[in-house]
Amino acid sequence: MPSTLTFSRRYVQLAFNHTLMEASRILPQLPRDVRIIIEAGTPFIKREGIQGLHYLRRYWSGFLVADLKIMDGAKEEVSFAYHARANGVTALGTAPTETLDQFISSCMRYGLYSMIDMLGVDNPLKKLMRLKQPPNVVIIHKGRDEEANPRIIIRYKDINKIRSKFDTLIGVAGGLQASDVRKVYFNGGNIAILNIVKVSEFYQGLPETLNFNLVLRQILNEIGT
């Protein structure tokens, strides 16, 4: 499947945050569709290591994201994602400007999509304006722990602010469920990011017990191209 993203499509990104066992059970269920992105979440990578990324690549030939949330040492960490055959890699928007500039230039050198996660950034546009060049993807993110506070919402208003200055894809994450996906696109996002969660967890997302083939086909039918 293609390893590039385009503005003409709407994407669903599934984040694996647990174990290889979970991934090996769910990945074979998924439709082979270019609109599905697979993410090796930060907890997954911390648990399984870079080898976990290699494992996901064996099961998924489409777009694969390494959610490293780089904060420093960008050149080396981007190389980790490249050698694990990821297509995209993340850095945190709270990282120093110097780190983010090196992150973006390193991604360009390796042919990877640079994805900046704005978790904890009060003004994403202001942060982007400081960079030498924008990333390929900006992620508007309400953190999983923030789900415990009902007063914290996904800041969809930041999407139009970013769009006014930069031609970049925008992903949205933050306790999204299947019923929330259309709202992402309605508010101008390109990528709806859904966590796969255990039924015992507080976090919102897609429960690991779902029939993922059925659910993903329903979502893809609803969102169209």
pLDDT in tens, 79-106: 999 999 999 999 999 999 999 999 999 9
- Chain centre to alpha carbon of residue 6: 15
What's the pLDDT band for 224 if we cut at 50, 70, 90?
Answer: confident
Q: All domains of the chain, ordered by start, with CATH?
A: 11-223 (3.20.20.70)
Beta strand pairing call for 137-141 and 169-173: parallel
**Segment 65-77, tens digit of pLDDT:** 999 999 999 999 9
Nearest alpha-carbon partner for 11 in 125, 172, 166: 172
Question: In which band, very low, low, confident or very high, does the pLDDT at 61 lie, cut at 50, 70 and 90?
Answer: very high
- One-letter amino acid identity for 110? Y
- pTM as predicted: 0.95
Instruction: Tell me the C-alpha to C-alpha distance, in Å, between residue 209 and each of 30, 40, 67, 129, 220.
Output: 14, 19, 23, 42, 19
Q: Is residue 3 packed enough to be buried (19+ CB in 10 Å), middle (13-18) or exposed (0-12)? A: middle
Per-residue confidence (pLDDT) for residue 74, from 0 to 100: 98
